Amino acid sequence: MDLTFTTTLVPWRGPAPFVFAPASEDAADAIAEVASRVTYGWGAIPAAVRLTPLADPEDGPDEAGPPGRGGGAGPGTSRTVAYTTSLFPREGTYYVPVKVAVQRRAQVGVGDDVRIALHLELRR
């Protein structure tokens, strides 16, 4: 299952050096519908992620394909980062961890707007 949404990065209140991308309401609803088919326990859901900073007008077009399909970023997407992680439910949505290495490569931090493309592998 593939989902795409835009969101604002938020901080983690703890010792881990992560920020998180909370799923949009529509994306969270879609994830919740298939959660039992994708979780590996405790509500955690493995996902392939493609994070793209929302471009400033002078940055030009930013075209990224769906995550989990291999290949690098296309033209104009040098700050797009593909990685794997696990989503987890919290406060009525799902949170996508954004590791420090991803933050640095994408040049994003708390308060930045990003586009998140998720690929969840559905099991029967």
Q: 2-70+78-119 in CATH: which number?
A: 2.40.30.100
Listed in sequence order, the residues at least 6 apart from 64 whose beta carbon sits closer than 8 Å to its beta carbon are 50, 52, 73, 74, 77, 80, 115, 117
Domain boundaries, the chain: 2-70+78-119
Distance CA 66, CA 107 (A): 20
pLDDT tens string 34-74: 998 888 878 889 999 999 999 653 454 444 444 544 444 44
pLDDT at site 22: 97
Where does residue 68 rank: exposed (0-12), middle (13-18), buried (19+ CB within 10 A)? middle
pLDDT at site 33: 94
Please give the residue that has the higher pLDDT: either 67 or 123.
123
pLDDT tens string 10-34: 997 766 667 999 999 999 999 999 9
Buried b (16+ CB within 10 A) or exposed e, 35-51: beebbeeeebbebbbbb
pLDDT at site 26: 97
- Please state the pTM of the whole predicted model: 0.79
pLDDT tens string 76-101: 458 999 999 999 899 899 999 999 99
Q: Give the CA distances from residue 5 to residues 65, 82, 113, in Å, rounded to whole numbers and listed in that order.
A: 13, 15, 11
pLDDT at site 5: 98
pLDDT at site 60: 47
What is the DSSP annotation of 22-81? EPPHHHHHHHHHHHHHH--BTTBEEEEEEEEEPPPGGG-------TTS-S---TT-TT-E
pLDDT at site 56: 59
